[in-house]
């Protein structure tokens, strides 16, 4: 395995599958299967899950919601997804613990770095819910932050695209995928792998980011086995 401890980011939007809203049971089960597979191989992990399948503060604000409250709604949405993932993992016999960035026992324990590391070292999958706990941030930034805190070797960004391209592959048929690219080049070419805050944190703290398509079954294991899928963004 090329990485021992990972921070896996799952997008909330992917979790809704073809439904257009909420949680698709098949997609959830597929994620739980893929995670269980790598957990059984001894990979240590923290998982951050988004909330875009339920609510996003920014899109709420464009419809007249107060941004601060909308972001709090978005953070609560990530907690709903985290609970769903924990229960899907438990159903497969995989121990999973939800730690929340906002205090809300008994829904989840309040996150601290030592608690997360202790659970990881005990062989549990740790689901880090509630993003950073602050409005005006994203779960990508939450992933960068938690990835650095849990001392992950890599931030695996599970998306619906299979890597970083020279241009948007859905708009430009000549777009070419990178196998690897540096943070500097991502910046110089104006490529968007995630928001700037998240990218800057990874760059400054030398946390590589692997962008890959999590919605293809078996990809998570492949990416960890070093198969040439996805794009590795390196310091
Ligand atoms: N959010 C927030 N602070 C955080 C993380 C998330 O306020 O630290 C809110 C924000 O409103 C965001 C929503 O939670 O739109 C859902 O997260 P995100 O959009 O990152 O989810 P994804 O796009 O991965 O589904």
179 pLDDT tier (thresholds 50, 70, 90): very high
Average pLDDT value for residue range 187-207? 95
The mean pLDDT value for 160-177 works out to 91
At 216 the pLDDT is 95
- 159 alpha carbon to ligand 1 midpoint, in Å? 15
Is the pLDDT at 109 greater than 80, yes or no?
Answer: yes
Nearest ligand 1 atom to alpha carbon 56: 15
pLDDT at residue 60 tops 90: no
In this prediction, residue 1 carries a pLDDT of 77
pLDDT at 8: 98
Q: Do residues 119 and 97 touch, judged by C-beta distance below 8 A?
A: yes
For helices 67-91 and 25-40, angle between their N-to-C axes, nearest 10 degrees: 60
Does domain 5-234 fall under CATH 3.40.1160.10? My reply is: yes
Nearest to 180 by CA among 137, 134, 233, 102: 233
| HEC readout, 4-36 | CEEEEEECHHHHCCCCCCCCCHHHHHHHHHHHH
CA–centroid distance, residue 56 to ligand 1 (Å)? 6
| Number of Cα atoms under 13 Å in the Cβ half of residue 150 | 33
The verdict on the CB of residue 143 being under 6 Å from ligand 1 is: no
Terminal-residue alpha carbon distance, the chain: 20
φ, ψ at 9 (rounded to 5°)? -105, 125
Q: Rounded CA gap, 61 and 26, in Å?
A: 31
Please give the distance, rounded to the nearest whole angstrom, from the Cα atom of residue 231 to the centre of ligand 1: 23
Give the pLDDT of residue 168. Answer: 86
Cβ of residue 51 lying under 6 Å from some atom of ligand 1: yes
pLDDT of residue 2: 85
Domain coordinates of the chain in residue numbers?
5-234
Q: What is the pLDDT of residues 22-37, one digit of tens each?
A: 999 999 999 999 999 9
Confidence of residue 231 (pLDDT cuts 50, 70, 90): very high
Residue of 2, 7, 35 lying closest to 151 (CA atoms): 7
**Stretch among 140-144, 190-194, 197-201 having the lowest mean pLDDT:** 190-194
- Predicted TM-score (pTM) of the model is 0.96
Looking at ligand 1, which atom is closest to the CA of residue 75?
A: 14
Percent of the chain at pLDDT exceeding 70: 100
Residue 230 has pLDDT above 90, yes or no: yes
| Per-residue confidence (pLDDT) for residue 64, from 0 to 100 | 92
What does pLDDT average to over the chain?
A: 96
3-state secondary structure of 173: coil
């Amino acid at each position: 395995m090329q990485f021992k401890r990972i921070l896996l980011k799952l997008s909330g939007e992917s979790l809704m599958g073809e439904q257009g809203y909420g949680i698709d049971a098949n997609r959830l089960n597929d994620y739980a299967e893929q995670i269980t597979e790598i957990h059984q191989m001894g990979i240590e992990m923290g998982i951050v899950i988004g909330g875009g399948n339920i609510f996003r503060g920014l899109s709420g604000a464009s419809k007249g919601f107060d941004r601060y409250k909308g972001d709090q709604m978005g953070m609560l949405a990530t907690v709903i997804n985290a609970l769903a993932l924990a229960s899907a993992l438990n159903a497969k016999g995989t121990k999973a613990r939800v730690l929340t960035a906002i205090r809300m026992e008994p829904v989840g324990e309040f996150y601290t770095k030592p608690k997360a590391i202790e659970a990881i070292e005990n062989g549990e999958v740790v689901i880090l819910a509630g993003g950073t706990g602050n409005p005006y941030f994203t779960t990508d930034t939450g992933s960068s932050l938690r990835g650095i805190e849990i001392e992950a070797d890599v931030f695996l960004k599970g998306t619906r695209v299979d890597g970083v391209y020279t241009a948007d592959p859905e708009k430009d048929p000549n777009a070419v995928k990178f196998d690897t690219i540096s943070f500097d080049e991502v910046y110089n070419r104006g490529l968007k792998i995630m928001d700037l805050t998240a990218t800057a944190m990874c760059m400054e703290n030398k946390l590589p980011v692997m962008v890959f398509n999590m919605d293809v079954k078996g990809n998570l294991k492949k990416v960890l086995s070093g198969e040439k899928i996805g794009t590795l963004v390196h310091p």
